[in-house]
């Protein structure tokens, strides 16, 4: 007696990379109608792939629909894992988010705004808030230390470098064309403290009035400025109306017309 045995039929595992229409149908089932041409497929692992379609949504040039399909080794069908709208290589995307404290720039502060220093701001160092002893607190107040925070050495150096390199430093265009410096100008009011030798405030309303200027800055409104006499022009003397010729306009018109 002969016994014939047959091998069990092993189902063929479906290929998720070939299931383009399955991926497109998944988008249609979600109500997405702005789906363009199939752009390709990316193999994620031995079970999953990602199909990419062009997005034809207005304002989304270069974006792509991404649909992830999967099929485990013993699966008899392809399943949809997820879908998303993602930027492609030529997509216009928003710039990387920058926290507000990194975006703020000098001049941004407007009335009503609040700008707190960072908790680890190196420009500030703890000050002296008082002990209750008048003999100590009066001296502290006189020295200007009766504050929660005072300017640190880093803060002073940072400000000094910024002012020195800025609009009222010795390298500014105005300063380069000047022959005299602020340090010996009568309108220069030197700062007190550690910055006394290098910086002051201009008090000339026709120059850098109210601005912190470098001692090496200069302008044409220096207190020692003398305007040299202009060659070829006489000095202006008192006004003499006796040298003015008075002309009757009507008579002048008649004279010109009779010529």
The predicted structure's pLDDT at residue 233: 47
Q: Whole-angstrom distance between the N-terminal and C-terminal Cα of the chain?
A: 153
Return the domain boundaries, the chain: 16-87, 153-214
The predicted structure's pLDDT at residue 63: 94
Encode pLDDT of 34-50 as tens digits.
Answer: 999 999 999 999 899 99
Helix, strand or coil, per DSSP, at residue 236: coil
The predicted structure's pLDDT at residue 211: 94
How many C-beta atoms surround the C-beta of residue 85 within 10 A? 15
**pTM exceeding the 0.75 threshold for the entire prediction:** no
Q: How much of the chain, in percent, has pLDDT values that exceed 90?
A: 44
Q: Using an 8 Å Cβ cutoff, are 178 and 219 in contact?
A: yes
- Tell me the C-alpha distance between 8 and 74, whole Å: 14
C-alpha distances out from residue 44 to 18, 98, 170, Å:
14, 32, 61
Rounded to an integer, the average pLDDT of 127-139 is: 69
Least confident of 12-21, 167-176, 234-243: 234-243
Q: Residue 20 contacts by C-beta under 8 Å, 6 or more apart in sequence?
A: 38, 41, 51
Tally of residues, the chain: 259
Q: Using an 8 Å Cβ cutoff, are 42 and 49 in contact?
A: yes
Question: Which of 113, 47, 34, 122 is closest to 81 using CA atoms?
Answer: 47
Q: Which of 34-65 are b and which e, b meaning 16 or more Cβ less than 10 Å from the residue's Cβ?
A: ebeeeeebeeeeebbbbbbbbbeeeebeebbb
CA angle 189, 191, 196 (to 5 degrees): 115
**232 phi/psi in degrees, rounded to 5:** 90, -5
Q: Given a cut of 70, is residue 177 above it in pLDDT?
A: yes
For 2, the token pair is 């002969």
Structure confidence at residue 157 as a pLDDT band (50, 70, 90): very high
Helix (H) or strand (E) holding 39: strand 35-43
The predicted structure's pLDDT at residue 236: 47
């Amino acid at each position: 007696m002969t016994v014939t045995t047959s091998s069990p039929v092993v189902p063929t595992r479906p290929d998720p990379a070939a299931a383009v229409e399955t991926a497109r149908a998944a988008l249609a089932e979600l109500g997405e109608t702005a789906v363009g041409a199939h752009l390709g497929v990316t193999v994620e692992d031995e079970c999953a792939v990602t199909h990419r379609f062009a997005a034809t949504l207005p304002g989304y040039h270069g974006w792509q629909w991404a649909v992830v399909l999967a099929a485990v080794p013993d699966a008899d069908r392809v399943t949809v894992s997820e879908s998303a709208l993602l930027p492609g290589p030529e997509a216009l995307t928003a710039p990387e988010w920058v926290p507000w404290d990194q975006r703020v720039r000098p001049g941004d502060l407007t009335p009503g705004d609040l700008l707190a220093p960072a908790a680890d701001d190196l420009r500030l160092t703890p000050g002296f808030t008082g002990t209750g002893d008048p003999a100590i607190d009066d001296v502290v107040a006189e020295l200007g230390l009766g504050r929660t925070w005072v300017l640190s050495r880093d803060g002073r150096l940072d400000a000094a470098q910024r002012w020195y390199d800025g609009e009222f430093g010795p390298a500014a265009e105005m300063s380069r064309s000047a022959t005299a410096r602020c340090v010996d100008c009568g309108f220069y009011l030197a700062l007190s403290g550690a910055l006394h030798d290098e910086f002051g405030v201009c008090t000339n309303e026709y120059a850098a009035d109210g601005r912190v200027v470098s001692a090496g800055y200069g302008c044409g409104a220096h207190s020692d400025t003398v305007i040299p006499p202009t060659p070829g022009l006489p000095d202006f003397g008192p006004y003499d109306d006796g040298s003015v010729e008075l002309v009757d306009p009507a008579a002048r018109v008649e004279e010109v017309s009779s010529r």
